[in-house]
Chain A
Amino acid sequence: MMHSRRAATALVATLILATSAGCAAGSAASSTPSGSTSASSSAAAYGKTLTVWVMGDSATKFEQLITPFETQTGIDVTVEAIPWDSVNDRLTSAVASGKGPDVTQIGLSQLASFLKGDALADVSADLAAYPNLAESNFPSAVANKALNPSGGVYSVPWIADTRVLFYRSDLLSAAGISAPPKTWDELRADAKKLTDKAAKRYGYYIPQWDAPLPVTYTWQAGGEIMTDGKVDVTSSAFTKAADHYLGLYADGSVPTASDFDQTTGFISGSVAMLVSGPYLAKAVAEQAPDLDGKWSVATVPTDASGTSLYAGSNLGVWKNTTNKVGALMLLNYLADPATQVSWYTSNGDLPAATAAYQDAKLSGDPLVKVYAEQLKDARLLPVSTKWDAASSEILTALNKIAVSGADKASTLKALADKVATINAGN
Chain B
Amino acid sequence: MQNPPVPVGAKAGQPRHLSRRRSVRAGSRRQPTSRWAGWGFALPALVLVAVFGLMPILVAAAVSFTDLDIGGLAHPETIRLVGAENYLTLAADPEFWSAFALTAGYVVVGVPLITVLALAVATGLNRNGGRFYRLLRTLYFLPAVTALVAISVIWKYMFNGQFGLFNWLLDLAGLPAVNWLSDPTSAQIAVGMVAVWRAIGLNSIILLAALQGVPDDQLEAAALDGAGPVRRYLHVVLPQIRFALGFVVMTTLIGWLQFFDEPFVLTDGGPVGATTSLSLFLFKRGFRLNEFGYASAGSIVLLVTIAAVTLIQLRLRRAND
Contact = CB atoms under 8 A, between A and B. Distances in A.
Interface string A384-398: 010011000000100
Contacts of A258: 181-182, 267, 270-271
Contacts, number: 81
Interface stretch (A39-47, A111-119, A232-240): A111-119
B270 A208 contact: yes
B86 to A, nearest CB: 12
Interface stretch (B2-10, B195-203, B284-292, B308-316): B284-292
Contacts of B75: 118
Nearest to B276: A396
Contact of B179 (A118, A208, A257, A268): A257
A264 B287 CA distance: 31
Interface in A236-262: 256-261
Interface residues of A, number: 32
Contact of A259 (B69, B74, B160): B160
B70 A95 contact: yes
Contacts of A399: 271-272
A71 interface: no
Contacts of B180: 259
B260 interface: no
A261 B162 contact: yes
A270 B272 contact: no
B287 A257 contact: no
B143 interface: no
Contacts of A117: 70-71, 73-74, 290
Contacts of A388: 289
B184 interface: yes
Contacts of B52: none
Interface in B52-87: 67, 69-71, 73-75
A116 B182 contact: no
Given A116-B69, A257-B161, A385 B290 contact: yes
Given A258-B181, A260-B161, A261-B162, A95 B272 contact: no
B73 A404 contact: no
A426 B67 contact: yes
A15 B288 CA distance: 47
Contacts of B182: 256-260, 403
A185 B69 CA distance: 43
By Cβ-Cβ distance, the 4 closest A-B pairs, closest first, are A118-B74, A258-B182, A257-B182, A258-B271
15 contacts: A88-B290, A92-B287, A95-B70, A116-B70, A117-B290, A118-B71, A118-B75, A208-B270, A256-B182, A258-B271, A264-B163, A385-B289, A389-B291, A403-B182, A404-B184
Interface of B: 67, 69-71, 73-75, 156, 159-163, 179-182, 184, 267, 270-273, 287-291
